[in-house]
């Protein structure tokens, strides 16, 4: 190979280096940008139910309180309404701005205790469940 061919080849290779650096820089920048609608991890739902399971000052958690209200009222409509008020006030404060749904699955067969959401129309929901007494509570967060 003569000197001119080597110089042109070296010049072409050196010219590609900044182009490759720019391509990698742009691809890394695009990968670090958050999506417009971030996906909720199931950790959010787990954290909310963990807060509801945490014992308060009088050594009874919110889920225990709801379970006691439901069981002492034999799952009557009045006891369900009382449980709904307690759950809604807590979750409306903690999940302000988020769509959510809290249900009881075991005794009340999916009765909604707090929130409004059409589960059939939603996708990509974070869910968690906790047992308290004979009750199984499940939360869905969008």
Q: What are the boundaries of each domain within the chain?
A: 38-141
CA proximity to 105, closest of 77, 141, 131: 131
Comparison of pLDDT for 130 and 96, the residue scoring more: 130
CB atoms within 10 A of CB 133: 14
- Beta-carbon contacts of 45 under 8 Å, excluding residues fewer than 6 positions away, are 126, 127, 128, 139, 140, 141
Per-residue pLDDT band for 11 (boundaries 50, 70, 90) equals confident
Q: What is the pLDDT of residues 69-89, one digit of tens each?
A: 999 999 999 999 999 999 999
Helix (H) or strand (E) holding 44: helix 42-53
Maximum mean pLDDT: which of 37-46, 53-62, 63-72, 113-122: 63-72
Given a contact cutoff of 8 angstroms between Cβ atoms, the answer to whether 76 and 108 are in contact is no
Q: For the chain, count helices (H), then strands (E).
A: 4, 4
Per-residue pLDDT band for 64 (boundaries 50, 70, 90) equals very high
Residue showing tokens 């695009």: 30
Q: What is the pLDDT of residues 130-141, one digit of tens each?
A: 999 899 999 999
């Amino acid at each position: 190979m003569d000197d001119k061919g080597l110089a042109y080849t070296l010049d072409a290779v050196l010219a590609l280096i900044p182009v490759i650096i720019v391509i990698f820089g742009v691809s890394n920048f695009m990968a670090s940008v958050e999506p417009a609608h971030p996906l909720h991890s199931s950790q959010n739902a787990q954290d909310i139910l963990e807060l509801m399971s945490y014992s308060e000052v009088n050594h009874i958690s919110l889920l225990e309180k709801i379970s006691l209200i439901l069981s002492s009222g034999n799952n009557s409509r009045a006891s369900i309404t009382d449980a709904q008020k307690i759950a809604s006030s807590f979750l409306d404060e903690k999940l302000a701005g988020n769509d959510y749904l809290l249900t009881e699955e075991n005794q009340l067969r999916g009765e909604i205790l707090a929130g409004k959401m059409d589960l059939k129309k939603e996708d990509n929901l974070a869910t968690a469940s906790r047992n308290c007494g004979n009750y199984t509570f499940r939360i869905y967060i969008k």
